[in-house]
Structure 1
C-alpha cells in the first residue's frame, strides 16, 4: 500500500457497492449517446412539455445537426456557443457539435449583453445556437464579436400539437413575439435539420487531450475564465456518478431536468448522466415551483438533482402536500450548502434520500458527496468519489495538514480540468505539483468526511449561482456618483446568500437605492444585482488603503447574532 492509498481514509467509509477505483473508458462524450441509442432505441430519451423523443429519434436529430454544422463549415476545434434553456435543442446541439469535434461553450440565457459579449469574444465563438426570444440580444452585440453564423430555434419546434401552433399566438398576445428577419449568416434550426441525412458522422477524438467544453467561471480567482474540460474529464465524472448511484438501473430511471444545462452541474448530473443510463430526461426550461410539483406527480421522476433553493421552494409551496412526490428515490444537492432542516423536511415529504455534494467547474464538476443510501454526516460535503485524491494543505506553506486541521482543499483526479482557456498564468496559479487548489478552506474527520469551513475567499453563492463581488463592484464603480463600493454576501433564508453593497458617494452627490438598482439591472444578470444597499461616509480599510471586506462580513454576522438574542 503506497502513501496515497494509506491516506485515503475515506475508502473505509464507502458503501460496499461503490468501488475504490474505476476503469474509465477513453471515449468521446458522444459515445454515451451512441451506445444508449443502440441498446435502447425505442426507450424515451426526452420528455418535454407533453412531447417525447425516443433514443433513436434523438440520435437521428443529433446526426442531422452534426451534418448541418459540417455543411456550415464547422470543423474540429471550432467553438460553438449555446444560448438555450433546457430543451431538446440544447441536447441535440450539444451532442451534435461534439460529434464534429467542436468545442461547446455554454452561455447563460440570463446574461446581459455585456456579459454574453465577454464570453463570445474570449472563446472566439463564430457560431451560436440561440432561442428566438434571445435573438435581439445576440444581434445587438454581433458586430462586437466573431460571430459569423446564428442558428435560431424556438420552444415551439419540439412542442406537441396543438401547443406548437398556439405558441406564437400566445407570445404575440403577451407582447413577447420576436420576428426573425432574413439576414446573411442567420439560419433556422428546424430547417437546417430537415435538409440533412441521418447516417453516422464523427471525427477522430483524443479523449484525454481534446477539449469538449469551455465552461465559464470566476474560478478560484474571481476573473471570468473558460475552463477547458476534455472528453475524458466529462466521461469520467458521469461514470463516477453512475457508481455512486449504484441503485440506478439502465433504461429504467427518469431524471428531472430542471437544473440548467448551461451550469456544469446540470450538464453532468442531468444531461450526461441521463444519456449514460439511457434514462428519460424530463426537461423543464425554467423553475416554477407549482410547475415542478405538477411535473413530478405526472412524470414520476426517480432522480432529482438540484440546488437547495429548489427544494426550499417546493417545501414552501402552500399546496405541496396535495402532490404525490413518492416516485423520487434520490437527490443530490449541489451549488450551495444544504441546510439540515431542508434535508429532513424534504425526505419526510417524499421518502427520497437527499444528500449534499461538492464540486467545482474545474472538476467537471462533482468530487465529493455523502453516500446516498448509507451513512451521511450533517454539515459534511461527504466523501471523495472513486479515484479522487483530496487533501488539506496549509494555504501559506502548501504543506499537508494533519487530519482534523483546517486548510485549503486540494484535489487531483481524472475529472480535473486541462486548464483555463488562453490563460496559462491563471492556470499555473491554481495548480501545485499536479494538485488543483480549490480556494475553499476545509477539514477532514477521521472517517474521511470533508467539511467546508469557509467558501472561496470572496465568492457569494445565491440560489446556486456563483457571484464574484469584483464583477458587481466594477459595475457600481461605473456610476458617476459612486466613490467607493464593496460587495458581500449576507444570509438569505431562500437563496442561501444574497448580495449587499456598501457605497461611499462622491462629495456633494446624492443617489437613491432605486436609481442604483436600475443602473445595475441594465448591466448585470438579475441574480447578481444587490438586494440591499448601505450608504456610508467611509469603509474599513487596512493601513495601505485596501478595503477590509471581511470586517463588513463580521459586522453583518454580529447584527444577525444580536437580532437572535433580542
Structure 2
C-alpha cells in the first residue's frame, strides 16, 4: 500500500473520504426540481426556464421517446450545441433508461457517420441548423428516427422569427426515415416516470481517442457520473445550492462541459447560462448581466475573457470560482485573469475515461500551486509508475506514467475489449500521461506518453490528420505534431514531403483538410521538408519534429 501524501494538503473542509450516493443520474435532476422548482434553471439569450419547467420538459421528452420506440439500454445520439433542449434530450433519455451518445457538431460528416454506426444509435436528436449536415449520412447508419429540435422555441419572443428563419433553411432536406419535431411533440407527450436504472448501467457513451489514439466510446455509468459530481461538490464546498450561476460555454458534448457545466449545475440547482459557442464579448456580457459565479473553462478562454472585459471596461467581478482544464494553465494567463476578476482560478486535470475530473488544485484554505494539476480529489487514488512495465511505483519527483483508481473510472470502451484491457489493469486507469508527484502530493503533467495533441481542450490524434493529408495528390508522406501555443495550448502543425514535381501552396493543403476534418483538427501551420526523421526501421520520429519546432519557436 503506497502513501497518499496529498491528503495532508487537503483543505480542512474537504473530507478525505466521502460517501458516494447510490443514485441513478436522473435523480440529480428530479431532486433539484423537487427542492427548488421555482429556481431559475436555464438562461438562453435572456429567456429563462425554471427547474419546474425543465423537469416537465425532461419527463415529456422521455414520454415521447418511449412512445416512438426507445427502450432501456437503447442508444440515443444528441447532436446539438448548448441549448435547453440538449438538457431535456440528455435527461429525457436517461429517464427512460436509454444511453446518451453526445456528438460533436464540429466533426466532419465522416466522423459523425462512424460514431453513429459504432454506437448503434437508432435515434438521433438534432438541432434544426444541423439537419442539413447530417442528413446525407443517415442512410448508411442504423438510425431509425430523427428528432429535430428548434432552437428558436427557447429564445425570447422578439428573437424567434429571425432564429427560426435562419435555422429552417438548413432543415429543408429530404430524410428517408421518420422525422419528428421535438417541441411540437412535447405539447402532447405524456410525462414518463424514471426508469429504475442499475448503478452500473451505461448512462453515456462519450467518444474519445482516449489513451490509445483510436476513436472509441468510453462507457460512463450512472455510478461513475454521480460519483464525479459528488467528488467535485466536496471540493467546491463553499458553493451554495440554488444560489450559483454557471456560465455553460464549454460544450455539453465534451466530458468537462457535461459534468461540470451541466450535471454539477443541475445537482446544485444552479442557473445555467447557456452559450452555444464561445464568443469572448458575448460571454463577458453574459457574465456581467447574469452575475455568473462559476466559470469552468480552458486557459485560452480565460485569457480572451480577461482581455475582452478589460478592453471594454465590463465588470465581471461576480465570478468566484474557475476550474481550468484541457491544457496547462500558464502563469501569465492566471495572473491576467485574477487581476481582472479577483476570482479563484485553479488548474485541474481529468480525462473522458474518468468522467472526467481526477485532480484539482485547492480553491480555499490550502495552496493553489501554479504549474501543477493539484491534488487527487476525494476517493481518488493515484500512482506514478515506470514506463516499461507499469507496475513499479516511482519516488516523488521521478517521471513515470500517471495511473488512477476511483469510482469515476469508466466501465471500459464500447465494444473494444482489447483497448479496455490495455487501459484498465487491475482496476487502475493508465492515462498515457507522463507525470511527477511532488513530495507533498501535488501532481504535474510532464508530457504525453502518446502523441495526442490538445487544441483548446479538444483531443486531436496525429494519425487521423495524417491520413487526410496523405490523400492529397501532391503529398508523398507527412507527419503531424502539436506546436505549443500560449492561448490554445497547442495547434496542429504538419510536416510534408511532396511528390516529385508538385508545388502546392500551404493554404491549398489547409483548404483540403478543412473539407475532411473538424476545424480544430486542421493544421494551422504547414512546413514542406525534403525528408522526415525516421528510425532504422522507418518509424517517423515525432519527438525530433517537436524538438525542431520548439527550437524555432525559442
Q: CA deviation at 1:181?
A: 5.9
Secondary structure, aligned partner of 1:322: coil
Q: CA deviation at 1:465?
A: 1.0
Which residue in the other structure is 1:151 paired with?
A: 147
Q: CA deviation at 1:456?
A: 4.1
Tell which deviates more after alignment, 225-234 or 393-402: 393-402
Secondary structure, aligned partner of 2:48: strand
Question: C-alpha deviations, 1:392-451, integer Å up to 9, x for none?
Answer: 000102211112211000000000000000000010011222111100000001110000
Q: Is it true that 1:474 corresponds to 2:448 in the alignment?
A: no
Q: CA deviation at 1:258?
A: 0.5
Q: How far, CA to CA, are the matches of 2:166 and 2:427 in structure 1? A: 54
Which residue in the other structure is 1:519 paired with?
A: 512
| 1:67-466 matched pairs, under 5 angstroms | 67-169=63-165, 177-179=170-172, 184-198=177-191, 200-207=192-199, 209-317=200-308, 319-320=310-311, 322-373=313-364, 374-398=366-390, 399-466=392-459
Secondary structure, aligned partner of 1:162: helix
TM-score by length of 1: 0.95
Q: How far, CA to CA, are the matches of 2:331 and 2:461 in structure 1? A: 26
Contact 1:132 1:180 in 2 (8 A): no
Q: How many residues align?
A: 552
Q: CA deviation at 1:255?
A: 0.7
Contact 2:139 2:176 in 1 (8 A): no
**CA RMSD in angstroms, aligned pairs only:** 1.4
Contact 1:314 1:320 in 2 (8 A): no
Q: CA deviation at 1:496?
A: 1.6
Q: Is it true that 1:542 corresponds to 2:514 in the alignment?
A: no
Q: CA deviation at 1:557?
A: 1.3
Contact 2:347 2:360 in 1 (8 A): yes
Q: How far, CA to CA, are the matches of 2:236 and 2:272 in structure 1? A: 16
Change (3 A) 1:434 1:318: closer
Change (3 A) 1:69 1:169: closer
Secondary structure, aligned partner of 2:546: helix
Q: How far, CA to CA, are the matches of 1:301 and 1:364 in structure 2? A: 24
Secondary structure, aligned partner of 1:336: coil
Secondary structure, aligned partner of 1:316: helix
Question: C-alpha deviations, 1:104-157, integer Å up to 9, x for none?
Answer: 001001111011011101101111111111101111101111111110112101
Tell which deviates more after alignment, 512-521 or 122-131: 512-521
Contact 2:347 2:374 in 1 (8 A): yes
Contact 2:98 2:203 in 1 (8 A): yes
Question: C-alpha deviations, 1:219-268, integer Å up to 9, x for none?
Answer: 00100000000000000001111111111011111111111001000000
Which residue in the other structure is 2:496 paired with?
A: 503
Q: CA deviation at 1:99?
A: 0.8
Q: How far, CA to CA, are the matches of 1:476 and 1:526 in structure 2? A: 14
Which residue in the other structure is 2:524 paired with?
A: 531
Q: How far, CA to CA, are the matches of 1:147 and 1:178 in structure 2? A: 17
Q: How far, CA to CA, are the matches of 2:277 and 2:27 in structure 1? A: 28
Secondary structure, aligned partner of 2:186: helix
Q: How far, CA to CA, are the matches of 2:363 and 2:449 in structure 1? A: 26
Q: Is it true that 1:14 corresponds to 2:10 in the alignment?
A: yes
Q: How far, CA to CA, are the matches of 2:250 and 2:476 in structure 1? A: 38
Change (3 A) 1:146 1:170: closer
Q: How far, CA to CA, are the matches of 1:25 and 1:234 in structure 2? A: 11
Question: C-alpha deviations, 1:339-361, integer Å up to 9, x for none?
Answer: 11111111111111000000010
Q: Is it true that 1:55 corresponds to 2:51 in the alignment?
A: yes
Secondary structure, aligned partner of 1:47: strand
Q: CA deviation at 1:318?
A: 7.3
Which residue in the other structure is 1:564 paired with?
A: none
Contact 1:121 1:146 in 2 (8 A): yes
Contact 1:30 1:99 in 2 (8 A): yes
- Any gaps of 5 or more consecutive residues in structure 2? none
Contact 1:406 1:443 in 2 (8 A): yes
Q: How far, CA to CA, are the matches of 1:487 and 1:69 in structure 2? A: 43
Question: C-alpha deviations, 1:17-46, integer Å up to 9, x for none?
Answer: 000111111111000010111100111111
Secondary structure, aligned partner of 2:8: helix
Contact 2:152 2:163 in 1 (8 A): yes
Q: How far, CA to CA, are the matches of 1:182 and 1:339 in structure 2? A: 48
Contact 1:392 1:406 in 2 (8 A): yes
Secondary structure, aligned partner of 2:157: coil
Q: CA deviation at 1:169?
A: 4.1
TM-score by length of 2: 0.97
